[in-house]
Amino acid sequence: MFEKVLIANRGEIACRIMATLRRLGIGSVAVYSEADAKSAHVALAGEAYAIGPAPAAESYLKIDAVLAAAKRAGAQAIHPGYGFLSENADFAEACARAGIVFIGPPPEAIRAMGSKSAAKDLMAKAGVPLVPGYHGGKQDAKHLAAEAKRIGFPVLIKASAGGGGKGMRIVERPGDFTEALSSAKREAAAAFGDDRVLLEAYLPSPRHIEIQIFADSHGNAVHLFERDCSIQRRYQKVIEEAPAPGMTAERRAEMGAAAVAAAKACGYTGAGTVEFIVQDDKFFFMEMNTRLQVEHPVTEMITGQDLVEWQLRVVCGQTLPCTQDQLAIHGHAMEVRLYAEDPARGFMPATGCLTRLKFPDTNAHLRLDAGVRQGDTVPVHYDPMLAKLIVWGRDRAAALARLRTALAGIEIVGVTANTAFLAAIAAHPAYGAAEIDTGFIPKYIEELIPAPAPASDEVLAVACLAELLHRRAESVALAVRSSDPYSPWHDTAGWRLNVDTHSRLAFLDAGNEVVVTVSYREAGYLLALHDTEISAAGVLDEDGAMRVELDGRRFPAAVVRHEGDLIVLLRGASHRLHLADPLEAVADEAETVGRVLAPMPGKVVQLCVKPGDTVERGAPLVVLEAMKMEHRLTAAADGTVGEVFYAAGDLVEEGAELLIVEDNHAGGAA
């Protein structure tokens, strides 16, 4: 086994590989771009080396830079992870020339499977079933149009050299073929430097099922069962599970044998995945991925095997750790991919600082492969995946229940994430019933991404309670620091002489104002909103975590202050509210009537002007103290101070008229 391995990757896969290296007592070496200098995988590694600027083409894809780092570190091997250089035959050959072991299949196998057309030719010779189509070398538009007509519409155009949905078009009618072909070729050339395409019969509602295979250099090859990856959007996987729902033992054996035949046909060693599309009672070869897959943890969860350890042992010349007969399925596992993206905006990637990042606690049945920490910045240069959440249960129902609970425990603030979208899929009755295929998300998109709804009374009550508890904590801290900590002015219970103890909080929810009237009670607050009264109490921690009690019902929540707003995190969903500044409303009114009103009950701590004073717009007029916070009221326009109704030290009610400013230019009140 190796003493030191360099991981030519970043993010969660680099961290995941390091976990196995650490368990085996192997030293880990990280590489990083300028954008990743403070990233999680750099912090976890035994040592790390800078390899270039932020763009991947100038760092993670630079073969010379990666090899130079391996030489400096004295690494005997390089693990490429997935993406970047993982399926680059030139990189595998360069490693061999440098005397460094490439932890992956032989370059010849990578090349054989790198072209979809060549791979299909090889699979046809090996007897692996193929989707009816054309994957020949003639690429002129006339010939391809004729082949499409022979196959029958609808037909699928696919880039021969790549994946991920790039260079892929569905053509419903013959008249649309020429334009779709030109578009697919342009996109393929831009993405892969190769505009060749293949054609396949378009299967309208297939399932995407892949088989995990492993082979060693001694002629042994096994499959580690299947994964169902049918929940996709734009050909990108969203949720994966193992085993595939509804898979019979006979079909599993048949598909597993076909996958092993595919591996042997190209002289494969190491980890690989043979992907099939399944329509009704037939399955067809789609492609082979010559690397570890993103979704490999679900296979690890149901087999109890560490596939990275298998990779290390096989590349060192050892035989496979298990024979086919020794492998068995235990329970059911599911994985969701947590992305920094906005589903409501077409899954647009999001960037920014993760000001709050909280995941559920891991255990034997809940695994988290994460590449970020709280406080990290999600850069614009790379894939926006934050983490993978993997759960296990004794059966599919148990795994799904655990997934739903785990998703509800995720808190992300600072970057828009797809958590609520994933939770909506997990909660959908059709997913629960395993009624899934690759058209699941488009079919139910309106249910999975509903139109924005106003904050519920529960969300508003939690936000209001958080603000009240925050003010109380600030008051206590201020009292401790003051010269008179026992002064009644430190009290935030809303006490006023001969008046009911109440105040008002106004929230802006998507531009709509919602006013909550707060009445103070001995054991908490009574909140009046939307013609409803809610008894509220609770505890607020410094990090925003809350223990809430509403009308006797207790539950956890969190409220985080971000960019001047309150982010309410409740049961896996987040809602953004803006606590309206009452001074803004005062200023708006002052511009028309010139009356300066108290935005809330409090005490006048300073009068900055006296009758007859000339003031300019923005000049301070009165300083009001409320909830132990000072609020400075300013002139809305140039003018002259008229009558002043209160003095320093006076207590005032909300809405009390404090003074008047006459508008010098208008000849009247400002």
Catalytic residue annotation = 291
Q: How far apart are CA 663 and CA 670, in angstroms?
A: 4
Paired strand residues for 213: 223, 272
Q: Which residues contact 253 (CB under 8 A, 6 or more apart)?
A: none
Q: How far apart are CA 371 and CA 10, in angstroms?
A: 8
The DSSP call for residue 594 is -
Q: How far apart are CA 308 and CA 16, in angstroms?
A: 9
Q: What are phi and psi of 332, to 5 degrees?
A: -140, 140
CB 599 within 8 A of CB 631: yes
Q: How far apart are CA 554 and CA 526, in angstroms?
A: 16
- Comparing C-alpha atoms, which of 221, 402, 229, 359 is closest to residue 299? 229
Q: Coil, strand, or helix at residue 623?
A: strand
Other CB atoms within a 10 A radius of the CB of residue 531 amount to 6
Task: Give 487-538 as a DSSP string.
Answer: -GGG--S--BTTB--EEEEEEEETTEEEEEEEEEETTEEEEEETTEEEEEEE
Q: Residue 371 is encoded by which pair of tokens?
A: 């590449």
Q: How far apart are CA 409 and CA 416, in angstroms?
A: 16
Q: Which residues contact 87 (CB under 8 A, 6 or more apart)?
A: 110, 114, 289, 290, 291
Q: Which residues contact 32 (CB under 8 A, 6 or more apart)?
A: 10, 39, 41, 42, 48, 49, 50, 51, 59
Distance of CA 4 to the CA centre of its chain: 32
Q: Which residues contact 479 (CB under 8 A, 6 or more apart)?
A: 485, 486, 487, 490, 628
